Amino acid sequence: MSELRELYQEYVLDHGKRPRNFRAIEGATHRGEGYNPLCGDRITLQLLVEGDVIRDIAFSGAGCAISTASASTMTETLMGKTLAEARATFGAFLSMVKGEAEPDYDALDKLAVFAGVAEFPMRVKCATLAWHTLNAAIEGAEAVTTE
Amino acid sequence: MRREDFPALEQTVQGEPLVYLDSAATALKPRAVIDAVTGVYARDCANIHRAVHTLSQRATQAFEATREKARAFLGAESTDEIVFTSGTTESINLVAQAWARPRLGPGDRVLISGLEHHSNIVPWQIVCAQTGAELVVVPITDEGEVPLEQVEARLDERVRLVAMNHVSNALGTVQDAAEIARLAHAAGAKVLFDGAQAAPHLPLDVRALDADFYAFSAHKLYGPTGVGVLYGKRALLAECEPYQSGGDMIRSVTFEKTTYASLPAYLEAGTPNIAGVIGLGAAIDYVEGIGRATLHAREQDLLRYGTEALSSIEGLRLIGTAKRKVGVLSFVMDAAHPHDIGTIVDAKGVAIRTGHHCAQPVMERFGIPATARASLGMYNTPEDLDALVRALHEVRRMFA
């Protein structure tokens, strides 16, 4: 049960229910579509990038608490960051939720709340859907699926 | 049936006794099945239909004895009509490629329903693309039923095959297979039933149903994974082109000409899943030892109990409320996404399935991405459903 509490912290439940930056962006420069065919989660991610800086980032879609909270926190974390910082954070987040490395709490900041996902291998795809979608959006790829 | 017969139930999960409510995905295996499978590898480890030595004879006899058990289980006329496959999926693909493909062409139709598992959709999409035939789908109702008049309305001389499940995996709906077969035959079409979810729950009689093809999997019937059965009327199986080719399906081979074996070997190329088939035989013995009518009656009581118990949970909606159902309780909750439900009840030791159940068109029909699904096996008790209900109340508390 403690692992479950670790996964579903108040913060995650809150962002799952009331996601931040849950909207569309007028004149977005980047857009990504993500889909998790296992659970039907769908996300549309939009960014407004000026030069190398993410001026705005927002998402819409439907998913479980983990994927929604993860997307919400991602947008908060990356607002105002550079694309290079976003890529680095993506890498750190991935290795944290896959349990590959001891989380770098300084770099991850609020995202560290998802460290508990590593204990739930079946839920890693939920937590990473928004991030894979981000990666596709900034690398200019087509829709991604986390299979 | 004793719960002690199922060794998997002896474990705890997350510190709680396992409550297994995912038998529609795969059923737990009784000790008799596990012993039959390990016995093949431990003692009768030989290839079949080949050598004259003792081990090969034992393995061959046990393998062919299962064919007779499967014949009796389905009420088929002859063991020649029982083809072993790797599962329902392969059984359907076999019919699609070996029987339907050479017969279909532009202007022909294959009729399925909106209730199908992907394995009874995609093989027909593929064969239609290959042949120019058209795939036609009978829509389902809000209750998750396929109305017979909607089936009938789409049946005409263009329909060559009707392929439908006997029981829906996603919703548990039991279809009126005999009537569907009658309607199909009246229009001159053949009929295939995906019986993967019917075989563990209903007494079956392919002759009474007048099914042309009937497919099921061992692993949902308390048997091993990787084994299935295709029943086909003898004349139809004989019409099939070779499905896979190689050893065991030939009579003689020269570089100039090959002649094929007779049924059912003709459709069973290569060394089959010998231990798995023998395990299926043990599973059929186990199920028949209790009796499918007994199992069905007991499960219907449990289904009623579970339907009432789940319906009493605020914010829970059952998806699939057909008049005739097997023990499948598919649901969504206002409070939480199915995926979150699955993880939280698992922490209470309760195993349910969450997702689209390989039936995305069904989910789309109900406008939901996924459901949580509790499905019953012969070992389940009212206490198991009570444990689920307690766990679902925990979900509500957590997401309140």
Whole-number mean pLDDT of chain B? 96
CB contact under 8 Å between A39 and B347, yes or no, is: no
Q: Which residues of B touch A8 (CB under 8 A)?
A: 340, 344, 398
CATH number at residue A77: 3.90.1010.10
The reply to whether A55 falls in a domain is yes
Nearest-CA neighbor of A125 among A141, A144, A106? A144
The reply to whether A146 falls in a domain is no
Task: Identify the domain containing residue A77 by its residue range.
Answer: 2-141
Is B358 annotated as catalytic? yes
Identity of the amino acid at B126: I
Question: What is the signed CA dihedral for A3, B9, B197, B391, rounded to 10 degrees?
Answer: -40
The reply to whether A109 falls in a domain is yes
User: Percentage of residues in chain B with pLDDT exceeding 70?
Assistant: 100
Nearest-CA neighbor of B91 among B251, B210, B218, B4? B218
Within 10 angstroms of residue B142's Cβ, the number of other Cβ atoms is: 10
> pLDDT digit string (tens) for B227-247?
999 999 999 999 999 998 888
CB contact under 8 Å between B338 and A64, yes or no, is: yes
Q: Sign of torsion, CA B106 B109 B112 B114?
A: positive
Q: Return residue ranges of chain B for CATH 3.40.640.10.
A: 33-289
pLDDT at A142: 55
Q: Is B155 exposed, middle or buried (0-12, 13-18, 19+ CB in 10 A)?
A: buried
Give the SS3 label for residue A62: strand
**Hey, is the C-beta of A14 within 8 angstroms of any chain B C-beta?**
no
> pLDDT digit string (tens) for A127-138?
999 999 999 999
Question: From CA A139, how far away is CA A144, in angstroms rounded?
Answer: 12
The reply to whether A8 falls in a domain is yes
Q: Return residue ranges of chain B for CATH 3.90.1150.10.
A: 292-398
Record the tokens describing residue B134, joined without a space. 């058209």
> pLDDT digit string (tens) for B316-335?
999 999 999 999 999 999 98
Question: From CA B166, how far away is CA B324, in angstroms rounded?
Answer: 11
**Hey, is the C-beta of A145 within 8 angstroms of any chain B C-beta?**
no
Band of pLDDT at residue A141, cut at 50, 70 and 90: low
pLDDT at A81: 96
Domain B33-289 has CATH 3.40.50.1000: no
Q: How many domains would you assign to chain A?
A: 1
Record the tokens describing residue A84, joined without a space. 């290079």
Which of B344, B369, B398 faces A39 most closely, judged by CB atoms?
B369
Q: Which residues of A touch B356 (CB under 8 A)?
A: 37-40
- Give the fold, CATH level 3, of B292-398: Aspartate Aminotransferase, domain 1 (3.90.1150)
Q: Which residues of B touch A3 (CB under 8 A)?
A: 347
Task: Specify the DSSP element, H or E, that contains A48.
Answer: strand A41-50
pLDDT surpassing 90 at residue B251:
no
The secondary structure of B195-230 as a DSSP string is: -TTTTTTS---HHHHT-SEEEEESGGGTS-TT-EEE
Q: What distances in angstroms separate CA B148 from CA B55, B158, B196, one per listed residue?
A: 51, 18, 21
Provide the CA B302 distance to its chain's centre, in angstroms: 21
**Hey, is the C-beta of B371 within 8 angstroms of any chain A C-beta?**
no
